[in-house]
Amino acid sequence: MSGASVKVAVRVRPFNSREIGKESKCIIQMTGNTTTIINPKVPKENKSFNFDYSYWSHTSPEDINYASQQQVYKDIGEEMLLHAFEGYNVCIFAYGQTGAGKSYSMMGKQEKDQKGIIPLLCEDLFTKINDSNNDNSLSYSVEVSYMEIYCERVRDLLNPKKKGNLRVREHPLLGPYVEELSKLAVTSYNEIQDIMDSGNKARTVAATNMNEISSRSHAVFNIIFTQKRHDAETENTFEKVSKISLVDLAGSERADSTGAKGTRLKEGANINKSLTTLGKVISALTENKKKKKVESFIPYRDSVLTWLLRENLGGNSRTAMVAALSPADINYDETLSTLRYADRAKQIRCNAVINEDPNNRLVRELKEEVSRLKELLYAQGLGDIIEITSAMTGRSPCPSLSILSKQAGSNKSLHDRLLFSPGSEETIERLKETEKIIAELNETWEEKLRRTEGIRMERSALLAEMGVAMREDGGTVGVFSPKKTPHLVNLNEDPLMSECLLYYIKDGITSHQDIVLSGHFIKDEHCTFTSTTGPLGESKLP
């Protein structure tokens, strides 16, 4: 299975209202797996590309050639899920211009037969787990994380307490990872659906408060899938751990086509930085495939996105790309750019391996790393602070020199030795980081479930504090609100994020203390609502 190429699919959507209003012409043709784009200025100048899949979704579902959500999942999602059960890391990422249909292919809609790859894969995952319940020697565990990368900053979408920028770190054994990113334990598809819905609400809140739209950020949904098989004869337990990364990239477009200025232009530059770096990484990997001896430098660390997706691009992963296309002649340049991008991506080869017993090996290697770091500190004459760092809880931040000095009392000589020992603070930080990772790996499933429930309650309380109303099961309430109760509903350029937040207007006066809105161009005191009760007992706004 090693040395397999990235699977690449392209999908063309129907015209949107803007394209219909401009009487756009369709410039995409598909025959089998071949996609052809026609230059509207020079109609005879066609360019054709071959992909693993070319999905025609431009016409209505009644069309015999129409590629449905289920077809896309069957071809791409089912294969990747099968590889996850085999023990491989897998990744599916969507790329394309804003409004080209990335989010629809990845997330879809709630209506019947409209679910995208992510919910269908999660549903299928638990269906397969439940079908295997008769095998007592097998057990499964599923953990999820959901993050947003916006202007090179990482935000945890599942834990409301972590509002700021999360730090991306590199560990010699783990590789790149996001420090303090929540990993929540789930036991059913309904739980994973609620978590996805909560994550999307967190994106919505940020978009509402910061005047953003979702397509301006990358969304990364990770599933850590662990399979354990117990051998009754030998009493040994064997593990396979797969990381499933599902990525909805920010929209790719040029500044001159969006008309962006000021903050939006700067924001677009940051987004384009990560997408440009992704393009450079893909190009460098493609060049390496052509060169047999000398390998060119791969600029993974030039952006947070490519740094975190390093293993999925030419590393230990089975990877698929879905490129979303607009069919309209007015988007010719962006669509051609997307096709060229996808054409390069299909030349990348990944060297995936089955991750058997990785946790046992990783704990052993991490413990060896701890021993090595302690020996290094002892050699520097700093052995007396090892107990101080080890005594601190595994979830606390890494201690700084000043904190360590306080922990050691007013021991001036200890502070001086820390201050003047080359690399000592870096060694202490690495020791603390490694011990924290070991503690997380040794956390029991019951402890993970308790922590997940705690975070869920914190999230609900925070949303309630902001004046956001939710159903008891955590679902969206925008369309379920009582008609006789005055309320505000959020609107967003992205239909997936519109009408996701509901702010009730209480009797009397409602001010900013009751409904929290913050962000660019929003004043603390920006409006007041007064609600009165009518003769029939109905609340109304004057």
102 is in an annotated binding site: yes
**Residues 52-105 pLDDT 10s:** 999 999 998 899 999 999 999 999 999 999 999 999 999 999 999 888 999 899
Question: Around Cβ 5, how many Cβ atoms within 10 Å?
Answer: 14
101 is in an annotated binding site: yes
Active site residue 251: yes
Of 134-148, 179-193, 246-260, least confident by mean pLDDT is 246-260
97 is in an annotated binding site: yes
% of the chain surpassing 70 pLDDT = 66
- Point out the catalytic residue in the list 53, 55, 73, 104: 104
Active site residue 66: no
Name the one residue in this structure whose structure tokens are 């600029």: 299
Question: Around Cβ 389, how many Cβ atoms within 10 Å?
Answer: 21
Active site residue 101: yes
Select, from the ranges 16-30, 205-219, 283-297, 370-384, the one with the highest average predicted confidence (pLDDT).
16-30
**Residues 275-325 pLDDT 10s:** 888 988 988 888 776 665 556 788 998 999 999 998 898 888 999 999 999
Is 461 a residue whose pLDDT tops 60? yes
Active site residue 248: yes
Q: What is the largest CA-CA distance in the chain?
A: 85
Question: What distance, in Å, lies between the first and last C-alpha atoms of the chain?
Answer: 68
Alpha helices in 442-501 (DSSP H): 445-465
164 is in an annotated binding site: no
Domains contained in the chain, CATH given? 4-132+147-356 (3.40.850.10), 357-394+418-466 (no CATH), 477-540 (no CATH)
What integer is the mean pLDDT of 150-159? 87
- Point out the catalytic residue in the list 77, 199, 251, 279: 251
CB distance 51 to 8 below 8 Å: yes
**pLDDT value for 474:** 44
345 is in an annotated binding site: no
- Point out the catalytic residue in the list 77, 87, 101, 467: 101
CB distance 52 to 70 below 8 Å: no
- Point out the catalytic residue in the list 77, 87, 99, 467: 99
Measured in degrees and rounded to the nearest 5, phi and psi for residue 92 equal -125, 125
What sign for the dihedral angle of Cα 438, 442, 445, 450? negative
What sign for the dihedral angle of Cα 307, 286, 223, 275? positive
Active site residue 103: yes
252 is in an annotated binding site: no
Of 141, 352, 365, 126, nearest in space to 237 by CA:
141
Is 170 a residue whose pLDDT tops 90? no
